[in-house]
Structure 1
Amino acid sequence: MGKKTKAIKVTDQGKPWEKRKNSYQYEAIRKANKTILIVCEGQTEEWYFSKFPVISLLVRCVNLQGQSKMNLVQATQEIVKNEDFIFDEVWCVFDMDVQNSDKDFANFDNSIDRAKSLGYNVAYSNDCFELWLLLHYKDIQSTQNREYYYEQLGKYFKMNYVKEGKRLDFCKRLYTLLQEDNNSSELQAIARAEKLHLRQKDLPYHQQKPVTLVYQLVQLLNEYKKV
């Protein structure tokens, strides 16, 4: 589990993340036992995490799609600096860039190091978030490209994942789909992801592949899940 960030102030959705604060938001903060901020780089992740049925936990998801990894971390820092609310933990969620050049490797590694130096948790995936989704259905041991994940998910979801997997309506129902599918197992996904991570955790981040630390954030959210 990622470490706590103590008494961190985080913005509501500013630029794309700024929202007008109202009495309902303050009441939600007051009643929550714990508050976390999740900053991600796509609507798939945003809606997936937003759909966890948690109690006594306030989850604020911010989608900064189109940002580089380092820009996402820097934007998170800006959010933290300007927010009125107190958040217990801050999570950055991003993938390895598909180009896999030396510059991409350095950006990926440096962004994770920078986020950690600020006290943030990082749920990174290499190659992509879809690895986490596919681990609900099968074990993955060897390196695969994201086209493989898209193809496999298309078979399990009975759809063209490349064309439909990023659509808003699908993103909104992704969490429920995984929970209700008898062929899907979140517990198995966590176990498989943890095994992959522990096997590679001493390698440089960009050399950890396949890997996804999304399981750590999911474990946190599940601690506050309605039963």
Structure 2
Amino acid sequence: MSTQTGWSRDQIARRIAADIPDGAYVNLGIGMPTKVADVLPPEREVVLHSENGILGMGAAPPVDQQDPDLINAGKEFVTLLPGGSYFHHTDSFMIMRGGHLDVSVLGAFEVAMNGDLANWSTGDMSRLPGVGGAMDLAVGAKKVLVAMTHTDPKGRSKLVARCQYPLTAMSVVDRVYTDLGVFAVAGEGFDVVELAPGVDLTYASERTAAPLHG
């Protein structure tokens, strides 16, 4: 094993950004996915969408340039690129439901090996759940990528054979990006696309509650 074991959240975001094609229309979900906006290659033209009504969203601004009228769906300050716009919530959901998004990047509590997604509730009533636009984003995009830690705070795998938490959508996830690597949904398990530094197949398999295929 090398000195470094796994990717940081910023490195996960960079790995996702590397897989987003030029010219794609992309929604970035709340949490870790929003980091992708800050690390997209400058030579690549990617149009970012936020469900609260932004198209052409840019990276987070410096503190002294934050505009309280320009925030994403997670209430974080963002920028607007030349040609970008913001508009009514209804129009934003028309983009999501109308099949106009090439990629949705979402966080998750669990992803099952058949592509089922659970990302809105763990049943913990101390944190009021809210599905927001997650269902629309999960079923409306042509491709769904998930950014998350490989395990939860208690060390339990978030890549599972079958989701235990309430589902957001069924059979929608294409790839999962975690601190341990990149994993493609494969039906009877997950295919290993790439492992992070310091991670081998044995190490990843021990932390995954579904078969991994190297």
Structure (1 or 2) with the greater strand fraction = 2
TM-score above 0.5: no
Q: Relative contact order (C-alpha < 8 Å, sep 6+): which is higher?
A: 1
Larger helix share, 1 or 2: 1
* TM-score w.r.t. length of structure 1: 0.28
| TM-score normalised by structure 2 residue count | 0.29
